Chain A
Amino acid sequence: MNIPSEIGSHTKLAEHAYRIRRYALQMGEVQGQGYVGQALGYADVLAVAYCHAMSYKPSDPEWEGRDRFLLSHGHYAIAFYAALLEAGVIPEDELETYGSDDSRLPMSGMATYTPGMEMSGGSLGQGLPIAVGIALGLRLKGNPAFVYNSMSDGELDEGSTWEAAMGAAHHGLSNLICLVDINNQQADGPSTKVMGFEPLADKWAAFGWHVQRVNGNDLPAVIAAFDTARNLQEARPRVILFDTLMGKGVPFLEAREKNHFIRVDPHEWQQAIEILDQARGAV
């Protein structure tokens, strides 16, 4: 069972984040594609969520006392499976089935396929309103678990996100923590050009939320943000806005022209893994 650890060892968490990145690249290589840029960028947040902040039992993904984690951005499945592998929810040998017929690891996250997957994401903007219902349900049952909704910045365009933001604040849902990955990339280009969302912290604050905005690739900052959100004694929902760098940890991918779907050539997967391994050795 994983229980929240208050002593955040960012060295230990850096190792978890490294492994999450490596799993994601390995899965990417299986299919020759995947949202690996997002996975690399978001790995630090997932490492802190699954290896520091959350309570769960790897062998019992439906344990009633678990913190719920909703992957609203279903296309981040590759990143999420990597976190579930690291958390021990999914066995490592299943990695090679990623995206294949009859695999439990489809390319877009689906609740009915994968242990530990709490919702079928992909139709964006649905995670946060579901989280509102789960948070209300937990509160009604007297269950002290948290519900985390993980979403992309593109989902800020969806009206349902803001319906839920209002609803969560109206109902004073202090057991709801929303995580937003801000990498400024959507299908048609930079989020700021597709539909500007700034000033984002002000928007959430105006909706009645406790807001933090941190560098999502700065592990000590990410740890501190999770700890603050969990320990806050205020009857309102919490959001953490994470600014992240797509491709983080693999410099040639970090530098690649940014778009929603980073192109990786067949020979580059192993190259990326080697770079990751070397960087870890350097640490």
Chain B
Amino acid sequence: MSTTAKKPRLTTSAMIASIASEGQRVKAAPFGKALVELAQQRADIVGLTADLAKYTDLHLFAQAYPERFFQMGMAEQLLMASAGGMAKEGFIPFATTYAVFGTRRAFDFVHQVIAEENLNVKMCCALPGLTTGYGPSHQATEDIALMRGIPGMTIIDPCDALDTEQAVPQIAAHAGPVYMRLLRGNVPLVLDEYDYTFELGKAKMLRDGKDVLVISSGILTMRALEVAKALESDSVDVGVLHVPTIKPLDTATILAEASRSGRLVVVAENHTAVGGLGEAVATALLTAGVTPPFYQIALPDAFLDAGALPTLHDRYGISTEAMVTAIKGWLG
């Protein structure tokens, strides 16, 4: 059958889909710009990628500092090991690829070459969690679980452009390996509306609330703030504790906030429910004997579908609407 009738445009399952909602304020390439700025001050910054400079915003660094940029081809084992080699020579390598390849593909090289010797490599990996509609090949839903298992690994899950650009100099200044989930392209700008600065290792209260405490990281902090606004009209008071550093976890702040009585605690993360922030917080709470009503918003322990991001975020419970519904249900 053939037809000339124009079909309605369908939602996209493209690999690169912006996580910004329509009309949202954004900043372009916050990681790449911050790295260029840092490299002006620090001659020891080098950049490496595995055929994904353009798609990790590292092309800006490559253009500004071609002599300090190293293309490793589509070879992630080489990427991580050679970054380790450059760190041994005193450089601070920023190695970029997609999160699936940086963690799953290159895991033993991250573990043995970089982490076991506590080398100063900063792995900045794009498409974290469910931020692409391309299906499991590109959806890094377990990257944090993998990285959390590595001793000495620092793990950063930024919320937005502000978090990202402020994290870059701080992870460079930190001695040791860092895995940072990378938001690239037009990245939402959210946290400038709050009295907030990124501090490595610190969880920060973005807004207080007496009914619900959402403990979140990454783009689910952005969602949590939207949820909090949405629930204001239902007279539900939602506090949001943003935890951009997943490891080491700011247990003191988490315990202090979760100990306040009368609040549901909801941990929200753009990651499988297995081995991420939710389990880390649960362990911290139980170990300290703090036992508020506890719920988890996370991706299911499953291989996720391909599709458009809004569809998938609804399907798997991490859209603002789905989160509002879930929290209302838990409040009864």
CB contacts (< 8 Å) of B70 on chain A: these are: 136, 171
One of A28-36, A75-83, A96-104, A111-119 contacting the partner: A111-119
Measured between C-beta atoms, what is the minimum distance from B107 to chain A in Å?
11
Partner pick for B75 among A119, A126, A167, CB 8 A cutoff: A167
- B104 located at the interface, meaning its Cβ lies under 8 Å from any Cβ of chain A in the complex: no
Partner pick for A130 among B46, B72, B82, B90, CB 8 A cutoff: B82
The reply to whether B46 and A140 form a contact with Cβ atoms under 8 Å apart is yes
Measured between C-beta atoms, what is the minimum distance from A134 to chain B in Å?
4
- B84 located at the interface, meaning its Cβ lies under 8 Å from any Cβ of chain A in the complex: yes
Measured between C-beta atoms, what is the minimum distance from A281 to chain B in Å?
43
Instruction: Contacts A160-B77, A163-B78, A166-B73 given; indicate if A136 touches B86 (C-beta within 8 A).
Output: yes
Q: Which residue of A lies closest to B77 (CB)?
A: A160
Partner pick for A166 among B46, B75, B81, B112, CB 8 A cutoff: B75
CB contacts (< 8 Å) of A170 on chain B: these are: 73
CB contacts (< 8 Å) of A126 on chain B: these are: 81, 108-109, 112-113
Partner pick for A136 among B77, B82, B108, CB 8 A cutoff: B82
Interfacial residues of chain B within 65-79, with CB under 8 A of chain A in the complex: 67-68, 70, 72-73, 75, 77-78
The reply to whether A133 and B83 form a contact with Cβ atoms under 8 Å apart is yes
- A89 located at the interface, meaning its Cβ lies under 8 Å from any Cβ of chain B in the complex: no
Instruction: Contacts A123-B112, A141-B89, A164-B78 given; indicate if A133 touches B84 (C-beta within 8 A).
Output: yes
CB contacts (< 8 Å) of B82 on chain A: these are: 129-130, 132-133, 136, 164, 167
Number of interface residues of A (CB under 8 A): 31
Interfacial residues of chain B within 83-123, with CB under 8 A of chain A in the complex: 83-91, 93, 108-109, 112-113, 116-117
The reply to whether A136 and B117 form a contact with Cβ atoms under 8 Å apart is no
CB contacts (< 8 Å) of B85 on chain A: these are: 129-137
A135–B86 CA distance with the chains assembled, in angstroms: 8
Specify the main secondary structure of chain B where it touches its partner.
helix
A143–B91 CA distance with the chains assembled, in angstroms: 14
- A120 located at the interface, meaning its Cβ lies under 8 Å from any Cβ of chain B in the complex: yes
Measured between C-beta atoms, what is the minimum distance from B181 to chain A in Å?
23
CB contacts (< 8 Å) of A171 on chain B: these are: 70
Residue of B46, B72, B89 contacting most chain A CB atoms (<10 Å):
B89
A129–B72 CA distance with the chains assembled, in angstroms: 10
The reply to whether B88 and A163 form a contact with Cβ atoms under 8 Å apart is no
A266–B99 CA distance with the chains assembled, in angstroms: 51
A118–B77 CA distance with the chains assembled, in angstroms: 19
The reply to whether B113 and A137 form a contact with Cβ atoms under 8 Å apart is no
- A138 located at the interface, meaning its Cβ lies under 8 Å from any Cβ of chain B in the complex: yes
CB contacts (< 8 Å) of A189 on chain B: these are: none
CB contacts (< 8 Å) of B93 on chain A: these are: 133
Residue of B75, B80, B85 contacting most chain A CB atoms (<10 Å):
B85
A166–B78 CA distance with the chains assembled, in angstroms: 10
Point out residues on A near B: beta carbons under 8 Å: 110-112, 118-120, 122-123, 125-126, 129-138, 140-141, 143, 159-160, 163-164, 166-167, 170-171
- CB-based closest 4 A-B pairs: A133-B85, A137-B89, A133-B82, A129-B81
Could you list 19 examples of A-B contacts with CB < 8 Å?
A120-B117, A129-B77, A129-B109, A129-B113, A130-B81, A130-B85, A133-B83, A133-B84, A134-B85, A134-B86, A137-B89, A140-B67, A140-B89, A143-B89, A160-B77, A164-B78, A167-B75, A167-B82, A170-B73
Point out residues on B near A: beta carbons under 8 Å: 46, 67-68, 70, 72-73, 75, 77-78, 80-91, 93, 108-109, 112-113, 116-117
Further 12 A-B residue pairs, CB within 8 A, beyond A120-B113, A133-B88, A167-B75: A111-B117, A126-B81, A126-B108, A129-B77, A129-B82, A129-B85, A132-B82, A136-B86, A137-B88, A140-B68, A143-B89, A160-B75
